[in-house]
């Protein structure tokens, strides 16, 4: 099955700002994105794995400059059948995103979902712990939420994702179980899920495991390869991985 020039259940090493122009209007059931933000580089280890991760981070910093251009939101709105969108973002991006989506239609529901990390690395003095990540969710009337006590929770708690970071070498990888929970709550089998900022491909893997269709873009060729391998059950060290 195709979505414009794109094959469903496929991912593309492309710039999403251009690629999204080729996705037809009202063709996607859910958008799930984790938008870029500047990441502090550094880290203690000089193992080959950590060196590769650092190299990827540098590429990302070069690619990302300062976060995203929110003009892509107009296209995301255009391609969704009804607004049903998750946006992981930094604290600094929340106001701009709320301003865009919260009044987009007469009836928009929104939630602030969180991932609470129970073992954050302390930063310097005079700061709060970096132990919460935010995901904004917007839903237009008519988008069905599925029942299931564990999907309905607005927060998820787990340790920082070090094991997955080591396996898939992405500095901002999200917990697969959490992404699956979000999709189980807000999408139906065979729905189409779009992620324009795939990173290591967590959204695509979650959709695949849940019997949803997926399509996604990643601009960085190293991350793209990691996402592609991950969809084929191979981790970034070339080992077969159970996702």
How many binding residues for ligand SAM (CB under 6 A)?
Answer: 22
CA nearest neighbour of 115 among 142, 88, 76: 88
Residue 199 touching ligand SAM (CB under 6 A): yes
Question: What's the DSSP call for residue 20?
Answer: G
What is each CA distance from 177 to 110, 180, 213, in whole angstroms?
21, 5, 17
Quick check: 170 binds ligand SAM (CB under 6 A)?
Answer: yes
Q: Which of 93, 186, 220, 228 binds ligand SAM (CB under 6 A)?
A: 220
Q: Is 217 in the site for ligand SAM (CB under 6 A)?
A: yes
C-beta closer to ligand SAM: residue 93 or 220: 220
Report the residue number, 63 or 105, with the smaller CB distance to ligand SAM.
Answer: 63
Q: Map tokens 């991932």 to a residue.
A: 115
- Distance between CA atoms of residues 216 and 226, nearest Å: 13
- Taking the complex as a whole, how short is the minimal distance between the CB of residue 16 and ligand SAM, in angstroms? 4
Contacts with 214 (C-beta within 8 Å, 6 or more apart), sequence order: 8, 9, 11, 192, 193, 194, 195, 203, 204, 207, 208
Q: Which of 31, 202, 212, 235 binds ligand SAM (CB under 6 A)?
A: 202
Cβ proximity to ligand SAM: between 17 and 151 the closer is 17
Helix, strand, coil distribution of the chain in percent, nearest 5: 35, 20, 45
Place of tokens 């701009």: 96
62 in helix, strand or coil? helix
Q: Is 216 in the site for ligand SAM (CB under 6 A)?
A: no
Count of helix runs (H) and strand runs (E) in the chain? 8, 10
Q: Is 223 in the site for ligand SAM (CB under 6 A)?
A: yes
Judged by CB under 6 A, does residue 235 bind ligand SAM?
no
Cα–Cα distance measured from residue 212 to residue 158, given in angstroms and rounded to the nearest whole number: 25
> Least distance in Å: CB of 188 to ligand SAM?
22
- The interface with ligand SAM within residues 29-68 (CB under 6 A) comprises 34, 36, 60, 63-64
* CB nearer ligand SAM, residue 32 or residue 140: 32
Contact stretch for ligand SAM (CB under 6 A) within 113-121, 127-135, 217-225, 233-241 = 217-225
Out of 173, 204, 207, 215, name the contact with ligand SAM by CB under 6 A: 173
Instruction: State how beta strands 6-7 and 192-195 pair.
Output: unpaired
Closest to 153 (Cα-Cα) out of 185, 126, 176: 185
Residue with smaller CB distance to ligand SAM, 140 or 186: 186
The only residue of 80, 197, 204, 215 in contact with ligand SAM, by rule CB under 6 A: 197
Summarize as ranges the residues that interact with ligand SAM (CB under 6 A).
Answer: 15-17, 34, 36, 60, 63-64, 170, 172-174, 196-197, 199-200, 202, 217-220, 223
């Amino acid at each position: 099955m195709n979505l414009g020039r794109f094959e469903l259940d496929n991912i593309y090493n492309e710039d999403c700002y251009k690629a999204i122009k080729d996705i037809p209007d009202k063709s996607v059931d859910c958008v799930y994105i984790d938008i870029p933000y500047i990441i502090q580089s550094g880290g203690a280890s000089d193992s080959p794995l950590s060196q590769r991760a650092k190299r990827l981070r540098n590429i990302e910093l070069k690619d990302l400059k300062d976060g995203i251009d929110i003009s892509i939101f107009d296209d995301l709105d255009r391609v969704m059948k009804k607004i049903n969108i998750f946006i992981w973002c930094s604290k600094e991006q929340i106001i701009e995103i709320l301003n865009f989506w919260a009044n987009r239609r007469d009836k928009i529901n929104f939630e602030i979902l969180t991932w609470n990390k129970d073992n954050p690395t302390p930063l310097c003095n005079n700061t709060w712990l970096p132990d919460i990540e935010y995901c904004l969710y917007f839903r237009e009337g008519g988008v069905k939420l599925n029942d299931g006590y564990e999907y309905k929770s607005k927060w998820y708690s787990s340790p920082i994702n070090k094991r997955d970071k080591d396996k898939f070498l992405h500095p901002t990888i999200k917990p697969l179980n959490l992404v699956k929970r979000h999709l189980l709550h807000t999408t139906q089998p065979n729905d189409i899920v779009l992620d324009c900022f795939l990173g290591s491909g967590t959204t695509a893997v979650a959709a695949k495991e849940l019997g949803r269709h997926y399509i996604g873009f990643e601009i960085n060729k190293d991350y793209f390869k990691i996402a592609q391998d991950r969809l084929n059950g191979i981790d970034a060290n070339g080992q077969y991985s159970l996702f």
